[in-house]
């Protein structure tokens, strides 16, 4: 997938584990919470998505 983005002149940035953890912490308080509140079954969808490693 990364190569497809790069071929289309999209800048791809790889986060360190620490950066990814910080991003998730912000997302849990903002977009994840909003999604869970507004989308029927949203909380369960987020939990399923986050369970994938």
Nearest partner of 53 among 20, 12, 30, 13, judged by Cα: 20
The verdict on residue 31 lying in a domain is yes
Q: What is the pLDDT of residue 51?
A: 94
**For tokens 């791809």, what's the residue?**
12
Q: What is the pLDDT of residue 6?
A: 93
Q: How many domains does the chain have?
A: 1
Residue-wise pLDDT tens digits, 8-39: 999 999 999 999 999 999 999 999 999 999 99
Q: What is the pLDDT of residue 18?
A: 97
0.85 surpassed by pTM: no
Q: Is the dihedral of CA 11, 46, 43, 23 positive or negative?
A: negative
The verdict on residue 25 lying in a domain is yes
The verdict on residue 28 lying in a domain is yes
Q: What is the residue range of 20's domain?
A: 15-51
The verdict on residue 9 lying in a domain is no
The verdict on residue 21 lying in a domain is yes
């Amino acid at each position: 997938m990364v190569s497809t983005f790069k071929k289309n002149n999209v800048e791809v940035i790889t986060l360190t584990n620490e950066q990814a953890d910080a991003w998730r912490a912000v997302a849990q308080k903002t977009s994840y919470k909003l999604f869970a509140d507004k989308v029927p079954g949203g909380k369960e969808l987020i939990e399923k998505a986050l369970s994938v490693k």
